[in-house]
Structure 1
Amino acid sequence: MSETNNNDQQQPFNGNEAINLAEQQSKNTAHRNIPPLGLEDIPLDDDTANLRQGPSLHDGLLALLPLVGVWQGTGQASDDEDYAFGQQLVISHDGENYLRFESRIWRLDDQGKSTGADQRETGFWRISLKDEIEVTLTNSRGLVEILYGEPVNERAWQLESASTIVTATGPESHGPGKRLYGLMPDNSLGWVDERLVDGTMAPYMSAQLQRIVG
Structure 2
Amino acid sequence: MTDSDPVPGSGDAAITAAEQRAEQTRHRNLPQFDDLPIPADTANLREGPNLHDACLSLLPLVGVWRGEGEVVYPTIDGPFKFGQQVTFAHDGRPFLSYESRAWLLDDDGNVIRPAAREVGWWRPQGDDTIEVLLSHATGIQEIYYGTPRTQTSWEISTDVVTRTSTAKDVTAAKRLYGLVNNGDLAYVEERAMMGQPLQPHTSAYLRRVVG
TM-score by length of 2: 0.85
Q: Which residue of 1 aligns with 2:92?
A: 95
Q: Any idea what the Cα deviations from partners look like across 1:179-213, whole Å, max 9, x if unmatched?
A: 00000123110011101355642111110000000
* 1:110 aligned residue: 107
Q: Does 1:130 align with 2:127?
A: yes
State the secondary structure of the residue aligned to 2:24: coil
Q: Distance in 2 between matches of 1:81 and 1:128?
A: 40
Which residue of the other structure, out of 147, 150, 175, is the alignment partner of 1:150? 147
**Pick aligned residue for 1:29 from 25, 34, 56:** 25
1:184 matches 2:180: yes
Q: After TM superposition, which residue ranges in structure 1, 4 or more long, deviate above 4 angstroms? A: none
Q: Secondary structure at the match of 1:26?
A: helix
What is the identity, as a one-letter code, of the residue corresponding to 1:178?
K
Aligned residue identity for 2:47: Q
Worse overlay, 81-90 or 153-162: 81-90
Partners of 1:112 and 1:168 lie apart in 2 by 34
Cα RMSD of the aligned pairs, angstroms, is: 1.9
Q: In the alignment, which of 58, 81, 84 is matched to residue 64 of structure 1?
A: 58
Task: Give the SS at the match of 2:171.
Answer: coil
Q: Deviations over 1:55-94 (max 9, x none)?
A: 1100110000000000000000114232110000010000
Which residue number corresponds to residue 36 of structure 2? 42
Any idea what the Cα deviations from partners look like across 1:27-59, whole Å, max 9, x if unmatched?
A: 431111111246xx2321110000000111001
DSSP-derived class of the 2:187 partner: strand
Q: Secondary structure at 1:56's aligned position in 2?
A: coil
**Distance in 1 between residues matched to 2:22 and 2:155, nearest whole Å:** 23
| Aligned residue in 1 for 2:7 | none
Percent sequence identity is 42
Q: Deviations over 1:142-162 (max 9, x none)?
A: 110000000000010000000
SS of residue in 2 equivalent to 1:35: coil
TM-fit CA distance, 1:131: 0.7
Structure 1 stretches of 5 or more lacking a match?
Answer: 1-19
Unaligned runs of 5+ in 2: 1-14
- Write the letter of the residue equivalent to 2:132: V
Contact 2:172/2:198 (CA < 8 Å) preserved in 1?
A: no
* SS at structure 2 position matched to 1:176: strand
